[in-house]
Amino acid sequence: MTGMSTNTTAPLIQLLDAADAQPGAADLRTHTYDLLQPAAGQTVADVGCGAGRAVAELARRGTRPVGVDPDPQMITIARRRWPECDFRLGAAEELPLGDGSVAGYRADKVFHEVAEPEHALAEARRVLAPGGRITLLGQDWDGFLIDSADPRLTRIIVHARADTVPNPRVTRRYRALLLDAGFTDVTIEARAAVLTDPVMLPMLTGLAHAARATGAITGEQADAWIADQTRRAQDDRLFLALPLFIAAGTRD
């Protein structure tokens, strides 16, 4: 999660909170914790921790989690929400952790913001102890499925928004990246997050605004598309499906 101003942090927190509350979200987080296989008392790093929900949940499982995020505002919010937990300012490419100091490494919706994921994985290997586990979770930004009155325009919007992300398709590389970084027992699986709650409307309107800002669509097209999605939200007909990929491996 990249650094951002206070003006953009608050809406992002609201969107992340809404996504965390969607059906299946808690079970998916739990699955990533299970893949780490941490023993009680072991230290686990949650990289790109945001407001810290996963850190608090890992703590309740008996581990010693450390939340790391590059955004000072996120760290401030996380510390306010979960004062008993350990949160530190830092980036995936330069973690504030010692060599071999953690038994688990988790990054959820982070690597699409990392320009050079190979460097981040080298850093993950550095901080993981031998036998430590890594879990990566993220969405494919170029594969959003959205019901709309204009499928062609929707494809343009999705692709244009994806092109504004540093690494929009990195989840497709998870397995290869982990293998190339020397991790073993690498697994990859796919899930889908199906979102129909009107609370997700700001995420959809944000796609259109981003596509308009790139020049991929006109203001008139953006307004028409947003109006269609707004009507769907009002009529309980919103549909957004996000392809999610979960990769895991072991540090040799």
Average pLDDT, the chain: 94
8 Å CB contact between 214 and 158: no
Q: What is the pLDDT of residue 22?
A: 77
Compute the radius of gyration of the chain from its Cα atoms. 18
Cα–Cα dist 160/26, whole Å? 30
Q: pLDDT, tens digit, for every residue of 156-209?
A: 999 999 999 999 999 999 999 999 999 999 999 999 999 999 999 999 999 999
Q: pLDDT, tens digit, for every residue of 1-29?
A: 433 334 557 777 777 787 788 778 999 99
Q: Is 193 helix (H, G, I), strand (E, B) or coil?
A: strand
Query: How long a stretch of residues is the chain?
Result: 252
Looking at the predicted structure, is the pLDDT value of residue 35 above 90? yes
Q: Is the dihedral of CA 86, 91, 92, 98 positive or negative?
A: negative
For the chain, domains (ranges, CATH) are: 6-250 (3.40.50.150)
Instruction: State the average pLDDT over residues 33-56.
Output: 96
